[in-house]
Amino acid sequence: MAAASKAFELERGPAARVAAFASMLRDNGFAIGLAEGRDALAVLASETGLRPASLKPALRALFCATRADWLRFDALFDAFWLGVGVRRVRPLREGRERVPARTKPLKAFAAETPASGTEAGSQSETAGERDSDAAAHDEASSARALAGKDVRHIADRDEAAKVHALAERLARRMRARLVRRERARRRGRRLDVRRTIHRSVGHGGTPIDLVWRRRKHRPLRLVLLLDASGSMEAYTAFFVRFIHAVVGAFREAEAFLFHTHLVHVSSALREKDVGRAVDRLALMAQGVGGGTRIGDSLADFNRWHSERVVNSRTALVIVSDGYDTGEPQRLGLEMRRLARRCRRIVWLNPLIGWRDYQPTARGMQAALPYVDLFAPAHNLESLAALEPYLARI
């Protein structure tokens, strides 16, 4: 008990100890601001700070904002103030290099520098945890690199499979965010606890900015038209995987392929097995990889499908490079008809990601006046950027 009491002596810089402990807690995910630091210093300067039995619960009540914080606090407190659970280093013989400061027990090292908590906390990690963290970091880095890579430059089969898997995961995440039955609003009927707590971090945990939730009026409907012509061959497989996941995840979604003619492929893409879906798609879309007649395909869509699949809450997404072998006037006329019927028209063009690209093709020039969003679609990052736009519709 005497040794424990000695750890709480304040003659050697209480402010440095509080700063170091707060830094350690922040590094472990605690939301701590300046106000909590000042209050903790006042606690240490009081009689409570001289009694270990009362100091721990006092600081726990001050620093813990969530159940997860509460469960982890005792171990972090004991490690910082008492050195419990921290591996000690055997003293080296004379004449050898001195032990680095980061290997000292927390009880002695905490009083020397405010940054001690961070380094001491890292020492309590096991080798297995470090290996797991390193593997997760490498995997995340690899995923980020693939997400920014142009799909047409991916020749390795394993990398292509990873990109396809990431595209499917992205589609499912978009679905989870876009079809929520409630949205965050300044006013509403139900308090959004998670977002309110997140915003309160900047105010030291005080919930000043309240976030409310309100029901959506109607769900967003997605209609996707994918150009499967020869000029889009390098991107077709990638977009087929993405659209397969979109149609499988969204109830309010329809998909079409077009080249020289239009094909409705939603039923094929609702197959849960990707291989079977692609096989059915190949049977339904005969002629894939040929020329492109965008205007004629949109005319078929307006005549046979738009009344059934398009409404005032529809976002029409066209994925094409804009190279049309038909008359540009026909394309402009059909785009104008679509614009009158749907909520938004999004044109995703993989060529925008190319250096020095300009939409000079006649078909693209005819369609642009009726496009609400003209964006790139050459990699996963460009597809992910589509989500915030759709969420605002």
Closest listed residue to residue 110, CA positions, set 15, 4, 17, 12: 17
Q: Which residues contact 371 (CB under 8 A, 6 or more apart)?
A: 335, 345, 346, 347
Spatial contact of 23 and 40, defined as CB atoms under 8 Å apart: no
Mean pLDDT by 10 residues, the chain (393 residues): 43 71 83 80 76 78 81 84 55 36 33 39 52 65 81 85 83 69 56 78 75 68 93 90 86 90 91 84 73 93 95 93 93 96 94 87 93 92 86 78
372 phi/psi in degrees, rounded to 5: -85, -35
In this prediction, residue 155 carries a pLDDT of 80
Query: DSSP letters along 132-198, please?
Result: HHHHHHHHHHHHHHHHTS-GGG---HHHHHHHHHHHHHHHHHHHHHHT-SEEEESS-SEE-HHHHHH
Spatial contact of 152 and 378, defined as CB atoms under 8 Å apart: yes
What CATH number labels 221-391?
Answer: 3.40.50.410
Q: How far apart (Å, rounded) are the C-alpha atoms in residues 296 and 330?
A: 7
Query: DSSP letters along 20-49, please?
Result: HHHHHHHHTT----HHHHHHHHHHHHSGGG
Q: Which residues contact 140 (CB under 8 A, 6 or more apart)?
A: none
Q: Which two tokens stand for residue 123?
A: 């020492």
Longest alpha-carbon distance in the chain: 91
pTM for the model: 0.60
Q: How far apart (Å, rounded) are the C-alpha atoms in residues 180 and 217?
A: 11
In this prediction, residue 32 carries a pLDDT of 81
Spatial contact of 177 and 387, defined as CB atoms under 8 Å apart: yes
Query: DSSP letters along 302-354, please?
Result: HHHTHHHH--TTEEEEEE-----SS-HHHHHHHHHHHHHHSSEEEEEEGGGGS
In this prediction, residue 4 carries a pLDDT of 44
Q: Which residues contact 372 (CB under 8 A, 6 or more apart)?
A: 344, 345, 346
Q: Which two tokens stand for residue 157?
A: 């089969």
Q: Which residues contact 90 (CB under 8 A, 6 or more apart)?
A: none
Q: How far apart (Å, rounded) are the C-alpha atoms in residues 111 and 19?
A: 10
Q: Where are the domains of the chain?
A: 2-123, 182-215, 221-391
In this prediction, residue 309 carries a pLDDT of 94
Q: Which residue has the tokens 């072998």?
A: 325
In this prediction, residue 57 carries a pLDDT of 84
- Lateral strand order in the sheet of 221-227: 262-264, 253-258, 221-227, 314-319, 344-349, 373-376
Q: How far apart (Å, rounded) are the C-alpha atoms in residues 298 and 225?
A: 9
In this prediction, residue 291 carries a pLDDT of 79
Which contiguous run of DSSP H or E holds residue 234? helix 233-249
